[in-house]
Amino acid sequence: MQSLKRLLPSASALVVFEAAGRRENFSRAAEELSMTQAAVSYAVRTLESQLGVPLFHRSHRAVSLTETGARFHADVSAGLARIQKSAEQIRAKGRETNVTLSASSAFGSMWVLPRIPKFREELPDIDLRIHASVRDLELDEEGIPLGIRGGDPAAWPNYHAALLAPEVVNAVASPAFIESHGMPDSMAALAQLRLIHLEEPARVACDWKEWFESAGHEYRPQSRLLTINDYVLVIQAALAGEGVALGWQHLIERQVASGALVPVSDHVFETGSDFYVVWPRSRELSTPARKVRDWLLAQGGR
């Protein structure tokens, strides 16, 4: 780049040359650039002197590019166009205030929405868009900066990942259900209660069989099951007293804190398959997206 600087000391001369060559008129180029015609003529002459060749044929009322000038103009135009596009993208990214977060409907409704007042208070200039999906999206393909995923980050080599919450699962029910059916005093007794089953359509999720096995109890499915394919509905069913549900602690913390749901067992299953904020390695996060990421992580650490 030092040799280029010696060859072309003034980058502004290239901007003048591009306009003059495109317009084939120094006066119109001057109007476009808010310069005088004499300043345009001087910049072009200086550039020609630096390169050692004429770039324009000059007549009394018009100018036209020489053969060398036309080749150089094509390269300069292409280079300046790329620089302009890059600068516009950077500037647009700096002004962007909309940030999309891809997540499950359960995370969006049970973790994010209760925190929206806090989000608006702490990040008032950012508009958050929650993109709920039954599967983990490829953020790059969808043009989404941030996502929430559960699992092993080693399986996502194209993403950065930061821990949001461990996956900790217990069994919960409403106080009304416990009052009606009693608090189970063993795993065998718990297995005989009405259990609400989650049937995830795309993601892998802990189920009752896995949960009981983690406690050293062999679970045999009941003959009459209540199975729901959406976790939000599973928890609503538990709140309505329809049975016992598996409770992901980071999602049901508010219901447990308020007493709307009560643990029915001392057993807590830490699966080791935790939840992460992820973002593509292929592109840099915008400033607003970085702020949202850091806000999510700060909330997860509280």
Q: Encoding tokens for residue 196? A: 């609400």
If pLDDT is split at 50, 70 and 90, which confidence band does 10 have? confident
Q: Specify the pLDDT at position 94.
A: 54
CA dist 255 and 264 (Å) reads 14
6, pLDDT greater than 70? no
Q: What is the pLDDT of residues 48-74, one digit of tens each?
A: 988 999 999 998 778 999 999 999 999
Residues forming beta bridges with residue 147, ordered by sequence position: 102, 278
Mean pLDDT to the nearest integer, 273-290: 94
SS (H, E, C) the chain: CHHHHHHCCCHHHHHHHHHHHHHCCHHHHHHHHCCCHHHHHHHHHHHHHHHCCCCEEECCCCEEECHHHHHHHHHHHHHHHHHHHHHHHHHHHHHCCEEEEEECHHHHHHHHHHHHHHHHHHCCCCEEEEEECCCCCCHHHHCCCEEEEECCHHHCCCEEEEEEECCEEEEEECHHHHHHHCCCCCHHHHHCCCEEEECCCCCCCCCHHHHHHHCCCCCCCCCCCEEECCHHHHHHHHHCCCCEEEEEHHHHHHHHHHCCCEECCCCCEECCCCEEEEEECCCCCCHHHHHHHHHHHHHHCC
What's the mean pLDDT when you consider all of the chain?
Answer: 91
Whether the pLDDT of residue 122 is over 60: the answer is yes
Lowest-confidence region among 103-112, 216-225, 233-242: 216-225
pLDDT number for residue 139:
92
- Percent residues over pLDDT 70 in the chain: 93
In which region does residue 216 sit, left (phi positive, over 0), alpha (psi from -120 to 50) or beta (all else)?
A: left
Q: How confident is the model at residue 174 (pLDDT cuts 50, 70, 90)?
A: very high
Per the model's pLDDT, the better-predicted residue between 239 and 140 turns out to be 239
Residue 140: predicted pLDDT: 87
Span of 139-143, 165-169, 298-302 with lowest mean pLDDT: 298-302
CB 278 within 8 A of CB 161: yes
pLDDT for position 302: 64
pLDDT of residue 214: 95
Q: What is the pLDDT of residue 204?
A: 83
- What pLDDT is stored for residue 182 in this prediction? 94
Least confident stretch, 4-13, 25-34, 206-215, 224-233 = 4-13
Residue 56 Cα distances to 51, 70, 242, angstroms: 13, 9, 85
pLDDT for 107: 95
